[in-house]
Amino acid sequence: MRLRNIPGAEAALREYPTFVDNPLSYKGSWKERFGNDNPIHVEIGCGKGRFINTLAQRHPDINFIAVELKAEVVLRALQRTEYKPIPNLAFVQFDASKLTELFADHEIVRIYLNFSDPWPKTRHAKRRLTHPRFLNNYRQVLAEDGEIHLKTDNEKLFEFSLNQFAAERFQMRNITFDLHQSKLAEENVMTEYEERFSSRGQRIYRVEASCIIK
């Protein structure tokens, strides 16, 4: 789906207290940005923001950062906050392929990949967020016991991701090919896309992958 261009979106982002305008200045010191030593969880691609907002409200003892490339997407997610400062939530407009410029080594403990673009054509495989070029970056910024939680409605992307996790020596657990019919459904926080897909009867695939430091 093509996202509608919103004139002045980048300027509008700065009106929200949860938006971080100078994120690179916090590399290695994100805990200072939040003012505590709580663990940091990162969502790459925030959609309309329901997932990350819900988690931040449920878990005040965890700091959450949403990383999204497109200003229009960030703005749409920020609008859900209604200009209210959420102490443990931050939104960043940034390219996820450069994640090591945003976070120091082992600075975060969990990454969420929710319904990422599957890039179905073989020639576009390097753009998939579970391609080795991304996984190597995740490994660098994740703590030794760090995790990647992936959800998708795309079976081929899921199979590709499982193969890449295995090839790159990530440990996998809680693998399900039908999330909403599994024991994991009870604690699942749905994204807007997930709700739409599941209402059509589409299966949701999910896996947790843990780093093995080389």
pLDDT tens, residue by residue, 59-91: 999 999 999 999 999 999 999 888 788 999 999
pLDDT band per the 50, 70, 90 thresholds, residue 4: low
- Is the CA virtual torsion 31, 209, 138, 11 positive or negative? negative
117 is in an annotated binding site: yes
Residue 98's contacts (CB-CB under 8 Å, 6 or more residues apart) are none
Q: What is the pTM of this model?
A: 0.94
37 is in an annotated binding site: no
Taking the CB of residue 172, how many other CB atoms lie within 10 A of it? 15
119, 128 Cβ separation under 8 angstroms: yes
205 is in an annotated binding site: no
Helix (H) or strand (E) holding 43: strand 40-44
Query: Mind listing the domains of the chain with CATH numbers?
Result: 9-211 (3.40.50.150)
44, 113 Cβ separation under 8 angstroms: yes
Find the length of the chain. Answer: 214
Nearest CA-CA partner of 138 in 63, 209, 33, 39: 209
Residues annotated catalytic, as ranges: 117
10 is in an annotated binding site: no
